[in-house]
Each structure stands twice: as C-alpha cells, then as structure tokens.
Amino acid sequence: MLHDLSIGALADRLAAKELSSVELTRHFLARIERLNPALNAVITVTTQEALADAARADARLAAGERGPLLGIPLIHKDIFCTDGVRTSCGSRMLDNFIAPYDATVVAKLKAAGVVMLGKANMDEFAMGSSNETSYYGPVRNPWDTTKVPGGSSGGSAAASAARLAAFTTGTDTGGSIRQPAALTGITGVKPTYGRVSRYGMVAFASSLDQAGVLAQSAADAAAVLKVMAGFDPQDSTSVDVPVPDYPALLDAPLKGLKIGLLREFFDGLEPRNAKLIRDALAVFTALGAATVEVSLPHLPMSVPTYYVVAPAECSSNLSRFDGVRYGYRCTSPKDLTDLYERSRGEGFGAEVKRRIMTGTYVLSAGYFDAYYLKAQRVRRLITDDFRAAFEKVDLLAGPTTPTPAFAIGAKIDDPVTMYLNDIYTIGANLAGLPGVSAPCGFVDGLPVGLQLIGPHFAEARLLSAAHQFQLATDWHTRRPRGYE
C-alpha cells in the first residue's frame, strides 16, 4: 500500500510517473478522514492547500525536476507557523490565530516540494509528555486507543504511526519527539541544538527546543533532516556548520563503533523493557560494535534541573500572549490588569499555567540563586559528564522511556509523576546533544524504543547506527492493528 512505502520509494514512483503527487495526497487525505477521528492526531486538515501543493509538485516533476521530498505529503506539528493556516500550539490562546508567515523549517520543506496535509495535535505549548493537555482533546495511541501516544509531539507521532502522512515534524525540548516516537513504534530524531532553525517555531524553552522529524525509519528521517537542517541568519542560536548528506552516510558500518551503556539508565528499569534494550544492543555487537559501561553521575539530577530551566524560560516566552495583538482576548476587561489576567487565565490550560508560575517563582527575587542559577550550574555538570563520556565512546544507548504507553488519565493529576517520564530523554536537551529513538520491540503489545545519543553534530553517526539496526531487524515495519 502507498502508505507503507518509504519516502525514497515514493519519490522513485513519483519520478517514474507511476504515481502523481495529487493521487498520493488524496490517498493520505482519505486515510486522515477515515482514521483520524479515533486518534484525534490531526486538528487542522488543509485539504485545498494540500491539493494545490500537490498540483504544484506534479508540475515541477513534469518539468523534469527531481528531489527526495518533491510531492511527498507531511503533517506539521501545530507549533510551526504556517502562513495563512491556523497555528494553535494546541491552545485556546491561539485557537483563532492564523500565522502570517512560514517558519524557516516550513519554508525549507515547502521549497523542497512537500505537500502539507494539515497540522498535528500536541500538548499545549509543547508542555507535556502524553498529549493530554491539548485544548483540542487528548490524542490516542494507534496501538491501543486507551493509551497515550506520548508528548508533546503526540499528534505527530500518532499520525506517523497510523501512516496518515509519509512523515511528520515535531519539536523536542525534554524528549517530545523521542518519547512519543518510542511509545508509538516509530523513529524520532532530535537534532543537535542549533542544527535546525527555531525561527517560526513557537518558543517553549529557548535553550532546549529543537525541531525534528518523526518517520518510518532512520533512512526516511535522514532524507527529511537533510532538508530541515541548516544555518538560518534569522535565528541567532542557529549554528553555521555545513549539513552532511545524511542519506549518503547511512551505510557507514558499525564495526569498531564504541557504544556507551549508561549505568544510570539501567538502574531500576522494568525487566521486560530492559531485556528488549539488551537484545537490541546484542544486534549492535553482532554487527561489530562494542559496548562499554559508562556513568554520568549527575544525570539523575536532569529532571529537577529541567523543571527549573524550562519553566523559567517559558514563563518569559509566554508573556507575549496577552490578548493585545493576536490570540485569545477575554470579554469586557474592566482594566488593563483584568485584560491580562483573564485573557491569560482563560486562554491557557492548567499545565501551562503551572509551568509559567513555576518559572516565575524560580526567577523571582530571593529564589533566583537557589533555583535558576543552581539549575544552570547543575546543567553544566551534566553537560561535562556527557563530554567526558564521549571521549571514551562514540554514542550512548539505552531506553527512551521507563515504561511503554500508559493509560489516558493515569498520570495527569500528578505533575511530578508525569515529569519522570522524561527521565531518559531530558539530559540530551540540557546538553544540546542529538538523539534518536528507534523501535526495538513490544511489551504487552505496546512499542518500546531504543535511544541513541551522540555528541554535538553527530546526527550522521546516529542515523547510520539506527539504519544498520533497522536493516537487521523489522520492528520499524510493524503496523498497529486497524492501521495497516
């Protein structure tokens, strides 16, 4: 079936004129119409724009143009500004917001000829690990619709897993691409901080956010990342480093690769999860890699560190939502303070307000040193631990999440329990490192993800390692029942 084909295979068929982009687009639009209601993964479907994009792609193809993403349909996480299309960030605050410009990532993919099918549901303003905080309702995991898909890129992950598009985009601040990728059995890539432009990506935590891709395989992700990545003068934190030809580097052999196993990752991991991870690692060693035990002694502090730094930055980033120039505005404000307090109080959901208040608290006079500065010092210690580890190994491996997908509603009442879902992923964000999650098995019919973390700008190494793993296994080809 068309939705089973890789991006490369689709591009070949489009080039060979065995298929048109318009046909391919209609195929995915039909799947969305049929399958999305049970998942709530897509909140805006841009039917007319998609067909127009597809027609334009077909014209370019007819003119002899070729490109790895030309005519390929995608869904963007609703955190990326898309010119003329609602960009809600999963929030009532932006329910009426039509973005007047394209994010750089959106523009780059558009230039490559993608077809945008719509915008994916997400945890509100990217704050969450289960996609239960969205104003538009929770997203359901296609593997078991009573379970969460993970978050905050839960809609992107569910849509990718259910094959509602050839790939989806997401963002990762504390694990928001990798964790939902793991819970939905797909491949998720978070690049190095500064690798992909943040311009037009609504900011949650500026020093942690990165845009990335959720796809069927490392090979597909490589093709997309090559287009998304690159220096952007509009983003001062964008790094001017050339983008490697990721697809061309996928075949790098694993022989001689040194893979670090973090003791802290395996301490206390549930036995069946642990077994799947060890089995996956056995595949690597069979292919010639060596495993080495390493320790990042400050890593257990990564979750408290993150829950000081990220809220601090978001409390400031979200101050612009005030009902004055765009977005939700309360009715009949009696004065300026009322305008602000009720527009924001009514426009934001509970988790967002919690994080804004946490952030305000840790930055406030009397607490700044003990919380914010302290956290940024611990952040440096964690980063130094990673750097020391990468002097001994080429990449780190371990589980992406502590458990497979949990039930919708199970953890939403206790924020701290929810926060601990990010325990394996957060460290990479604090240190700005690239990470990949690839499916490596199932526990009770629910997907489990293997995480690989690399040093700065080692995306090629991560993608090739994941690709070699996917050549030797078939976890990434499994389909949820009903979504074949």
Partner 1 sequence: MSNWEVVIGLEIHAQLATRSKIFSGSPTAYGAAPNTQADLVDLAYPGVLPVFNGEALRMAVKFGLAINAQIAPRSIFARKNYFYPDLPKGYQISQYEQPVVGQGAITILLDDGTVKRVGVTRAHLEEDAGKSLHEGLANASGIDLNRAGTPLLEIVSEPDMRSAKEAVAYMKKIHTLVRYLEICDGNMQEGSFRCDANVSVRQSGAAKFGTRAEIKNLNSFRFVEKAIQYEVARQIEIIESGGKVVQETRLYDSDKHETRSMRSKEEANDYRYFPDPDLLPLEIEAGFIASVRATLPELPDEKAARFARDFALSTYDAGVLSASRELGSYFEAVVAALGQPHAKLAANWVMGELSGMLNRDNLEITASRIPAEALAGLLKRIVDTTISGKIAKEVFESMWSDGKAADAIIEERGLKQITDSSAIESVIDEVMAANPKQLADYRSGKDKLFGFFVGQVQKATGGKANPAQLNELLKIKLAGGQAVS
Partner 2 sequence: MSLTRQDVEKIAHLARLSITDREMPVYVSSLSSIVEFVNELSRVETANVEPMAHPLVGQHQRLRPDAVTDSDHHEKYQRNAPQVQAGLYLVPRVIE
Torsion over CA: 425, 121, 156, 231 (sign): negative
Q: Which is nearer to partner 2, 49 or 346 (CB)?
A: 346
Binding at 380: pick from partner 2, partner 1, none (beta carbon under 5-8 Å per type): partner 2
Q: Which is nearer to partner 2, 153 or 315 (CB)?
A: 315
Q: Which is nearer to partner 1, 97 or 284 (CB)?
A: 97
CB of 345 to partner 2, least distance (A): 3
Binding at 432: pick from partner 2, partner 1, none (beta carbon under 5-8 Å per type): partner 2
CB of 419 to partner 2, least distance (A): 7
Active-site annotation holds for 77: yes
Region near partner 1 per CB under 8 A, out of 2-10, 58-66, 227-235, 296-304: 227-235
CB of 218 to partner 2, least distance (A): 24
Interface with partner 1 includes 231 (CB under 8 A)? no
CB of 319 to partner 1, least distance (A): 2
How many residues sit close enough to partner 1 to count as binding (CB under 8 A)? 44
Q: Map the footprint of partner 1 across residues 254-283, applying CB under 8 A.
A: none
Interface with partner 1 includes 424 (CB under 8 A)? no
Q: How many CB atoms lie within 10 A of CB 139?
A: 36
Interface with partner 1 includes 365 (CB under 8 A)? yes
Report how far residue 195's alpha carbon sits from residue 173's, in angstroms, rounded to the nearest whole number. 14
Report how far residue 133's alpha carbon sits from residue 130's, in angstroms, rounded to the nearest whole number. 8
Report how far residue 483's alpha carbon sits from residue 235's, in angstroms, rounded to the nearest whole number. 39
Binding at 368: pick from partner 2, partner 1, none (beta carbon under 5-8 Å per type): partner 1
Residue 154 tokens read as: 């839960």
Q: Which of 20, 156, 176, 315 is catalytic?
A: 176
CB of 376 to partner 2, least distance (A): 4
Interface with partner 1 includes 312 (CB under 8 A)? yes
Q: Return the residue of 123, 172, 264, 322 that touches partner 1, per CB under 8 A.
A: 322
Q: Map the footprint of partner 1 across residues 331-360, applying CB under 8 A.
A: 336, 340, 360
Interface with partner 1 includes 203 (CB under 8 A)? yes
Judged on CB neighbours under 10 Å (0-12, 13-18, 19+), 304 is: middle
Interface with partner 1 includes 228 (CB under 8 A)? no
Q: Determine the Cα angle at 468 with ends 462 and 471, to 5°.
A: 140
Residue 152, amino acid: S
Q: Which is nearer to partner 2, 372 or 469 (CB)?
A: 372
CA dist list (Å): 105 to 169, 200, 204, 213, 228: 9, 8, 17, 11, 6
Residue 237, amino acid: T
Active-site annotation holds for 130: no
Q: Return the residue of 6, 47, 145, 206 that touches partner 1, per CB under 8 A.
A: 206
CB of 300 to partner 2, least distance (A): 9
Binding at 198: pick from partner 2, partner 1, none (beta carbon under 5-8 Å per type): partner 1
Binding at 388: pick from partner 1, partner 2, none (beta carbon under 5-8 Å per type): none
CB of 325 to partner 2, least distance (A): 6
Q: How many CB atoms lie within 10 A of CB 23?
A: 15
Helix axes 218-228, 104-111, angle to 10 degrees: 110
Residue 400 tokens read as: 């992406």
Q: Which is nearer to partner 2, 240 or 474 (CB)?
A: 240
Q: Which is nearer to partner 1, 35 or 79 (CB)?
A: 79
Q: Map the footprint of partner 1 across residues 73-132, applying CB under 8 A.
A: 80-81, 87, 89, 94, 97, 99-101, 103
Q: Which of 88, 152, 160, 217 is catalytic?
A: 152
Active-site annotation holds for 176: yes
Strand-pairing partners, residue 398, are: 451
- Residues with Cβ within 8 Å of residue 156, at least 6 apart in sequence: 41, 75, 77, 120, 122, 168, 169, 170, 177, 180, 214
Give residue 361's region: left, alpha or beta (phi > 0; psi -120 to 50).
alpha
Q: Which residues are part of the catalytic machinery?
A: 77, 152, 176
Residues that bind partner 1 (CB under 8 A): 80-81, 87, 89, 94, 97, 99-101, 103, 198-203, 205-207, 233-237, 312-313, 315-316, 318-322, 324-326, 336, 340, 360, 363-365, 368, 372
